[in-house]
Amino acid sequence: MMVSKRLLLYSLILSTLILWKTAVAQEYDFEIPVEEETARLEFSGNLDAVWGILRTNPASPFYGLQFFDQDKPDEYLSQYRLDFYFNSDYRYKQVGFTMRTFSQYTKEEPIDLSFFELYGSLNLSPRFTFSVGKRRYNWGKGYAFTPVVGYVNTEKDPENPDLALAGKSSIYLKYNRSIRSNLIQNLSFTTIVLPPEAEILDKYSNFNDLSTAFKLYALMNNIDLDFMFYAGQNQTRRYGMDISTNLRENLEVHGEISYAKNDYIHLIQDSTIDMIKRDGFSYLLGLRYLNSLNITFIAEYYHNNSGLTHSEYKNYLDFLRDNLSSMDPELISFSKSVMSTSFRNKNPMQDYFYLKASLPEPFDWLYSSFSIFTIYNINDNSFMLSPQIGYKPFTNSEILFWPSFFFGNDDSEYGSKQFQSKVEMWFRFYF
C-alpha cells in the first residue's frame, strides 16, 4: 500500500476512534442543559462595478497573442464589468451550511454562476469538526503571495491579495484541544482529503489522483506554529512549517518554509517544452509594522524553488515571439494553450519582494484611506507600483481609485506584460 493511502487510512481510523469516544462521552453527559438554540440563516454579499482604462504594450508577446487576428486596437482600451458575490450561512445546533457564490457580467451573454464555497459541516463535539464540500482554506502566514505551505490553498493574485477566491472540493476533519500548560496553550490536528477533479467525460477521475494534507497546530507562549505534510500517489510530496508571533504590540513577524521532492516544472529548451524535476526549498519571510503616525507597513520576501530563472523566462518569451512571428494559426493556438496551462502561475519567477504602506483617514479626511504597494522581481529588476485611494461616502458603499504602473525591460516579467499601465475605478455596494 502506498504511503499516501496508509496516511489516509490512519487518518480515517483516528477520526473514527475520536467519533466513538465522543459518542460514548455524550451518553453520560449530565451537564445542566442550556437554552435551546434557534436556527440562524444569514445573507450577505457585495456588488463591484469596475471600470478601467488600460494602456497597451505592443512590444509584449502576450499582447500580440491576445489580440492576434483582431483589428489593431487603440493605444488605450477600456473595460467594464460587474462582479456579484452572494453569501449564505445557516446554523442550527451542531449543523452548518455555507454557500459563497460569484458571477460576472461583461456583455449581453448568459451569466455563469460559480460556487466559491459550498459545504456542510458538523460540530460533533466541542473539539471535533467535520465538513464535506467545496471549501476555501488559508494555510500559511503569507499576505501578498500564495503561502509556500498553502498546499490546499487557491493561488492568490499578488496584485489584489484580498480578492475572494474559489475553494476546493474536500473532506475536512479537525480535532482541537486547549491545554493548561505553561508551554503549550492549544493543539489541533487537521486532515484534508482532496478528491481529484473530474476529467473523464467530465464525470469521473482516476482514484490514484487522490491526495491528502495534514496539519498540526500548536500555540506555544503566544507563538503560532504549524507543521504540514502533503502527499498523493501522483502528486509531489511536500513538507512544511510556518511561524508567526508579535515581537512587540506593533510589530508582527512571520515565516514559512517548504521542501518539495521531485517537483515538476515546465521549461522551454531548444524551442520545445520540457518537464523536469527539481528538489529544494521554498520560503517566505515577512513582517507587519504599525508606526506612531498610524501607517501600517507590510513587507515580504518570497522565494519559489519551482519558479523560473531570468534566462529560463527569456527562453519562454522567445518561444512565444517566434510562434507569434510565424503567423501560423495553429502555433498561435498552441502558444495560448501553453500560456494557460504550463506557465499560468501568478508569480512565474523565483524571487520577489513586496512592500505596502497604508494609512486610514489621511489629512483627517473622514471615511477615506490611502495605500501604496510595490512588487519587485529580484531576478530581472522589473516591478509594479500601485497606489490606491478609497472613500466610503455612505454606509455599505465604497469608491476606489486604483492605478497600476509596470516597469522593466522587454525581456522582464513586468516589462513584458500586455499592458504598460491601467487605471481602475471600483464602486462597491455591500449588504
Q: Give the model's confidence band at 38: pLDDT under 50 very low, under 70 low, under 90 confident, else very high.
A: confident
What per-residue confidence (pLDDT) applies to 23? 37
Pairing of strands 351-360, 296-303: antiparallel
What per-residue confidence (pLDDT) applies to 21? 42
How many domains are contained in the chain? 1
What per-residue confidence (pLDDT) applies to 199? 67
169-214 pLDDT, tens digit each: 999 999 999 888 888 899 999 999 998 876 666 666 677 778 999 9
Assigned domain for 30 exists: no
244-282 pLDDT, tens digit each: 999 999 999 999 999 998 888 889 888 788 888 889 999
The residue written with cell numbers 480535532 in the block is 175
- Phi-psi region at 64: left, alpha or beta (left = phi > 0; alpha = psi -120 to 50): alpha
What is the overall mean pLDDT for the chain?
88
Identity of the highest mean pLDDT range in 6-15, 18-27, 186-195, 267-276: 186-195
The residue written with cell numbers 512588487 in the block is 375
What per-residue confidence (pLDDT) applies to 205? 67
Predicted structure pTM score: 0.87
Q: Give the model's confidence band at 111: pLDDT under 50 very low, under 70 low, under 90 confident, else very high.
A: confident
Assigned domain for 138 exists: yes
In whole angstroms, what is the distance from residue 385 CA to residue 424 CA? Answer: 14
For residue 156, the 8-state DSSP code is: P
For 71, other C-beta atoms within 10 Å of its C-beta total 6
DSSP-assigned beta bridge partners for residue 282: 258
In this model, does residue 1 exceed pLDDT 60?
Answer: no
Burial 386-418 (b: 16+ CB within 10 A, else e): bebbbeeeeeeebebebbbbbbbeebbbbbbbb
What per-residue confidence (pLDDT) applies to 181? 81
- Helix, strand, or coil here: 76? strand
Pairing of strands 251-269, 76-92: unpaired
Q: How far is CA 220 from CA 139, 175, 181, 187, 287, in A?
A: 18, 17, 9, 9, 19
Assigned domain for 126 exists: yes
**Of 31-35, 225-229, 351-355, minimum mean pLDDT range:** 31-35
Assigned domain for 31 exists: no
Assigned domain for 345 exists: yes
CA 78 to chain centre: 27
What per-residue confidence (pLDDT) applies to 198? 67
What per-residue confidence (pLDDT) applies to 235? 82
Assigned domain for 34 exists: no
Assigned domain for 32 exists: no
The residue written with cell numbers 456583455 in the block is 107
In this model, does residue 37 exceed pLDDT 70?
Answer: no
CB 164 within 8 A of CB 102: yes
For residue 361, the 8-state DSSP code is: S
Domain CATH number, residue 114 = 2.40.160.10
Q: What is the domain range of residue 189?
A: 3-20+40-430
Assigned domain for 25 exists: no
What per-residue confidence (pLDDT) applies to 101? 96
**Amino acid symbol at 90:** Y
Q: Give the model's confidence band at 68: pLDDT under 50 very low, under 70 low, under 90 confident, else very high.
A: confident
What per-residue confidence (pLDDT) applies to 109? 75
- Helix, strand, or coil here: 16? helix
> Which cell numbers hold the place of 51?
471600470
* Share above pLDDT 90 across residues of the chain, in percent, rounded to a whole number: 68
305-336 pLDDT, tens digit each: 999 999 999 999 999 999 999 898 888 998 88
What per-residue confidence (pLDDT) applies to 270? 80
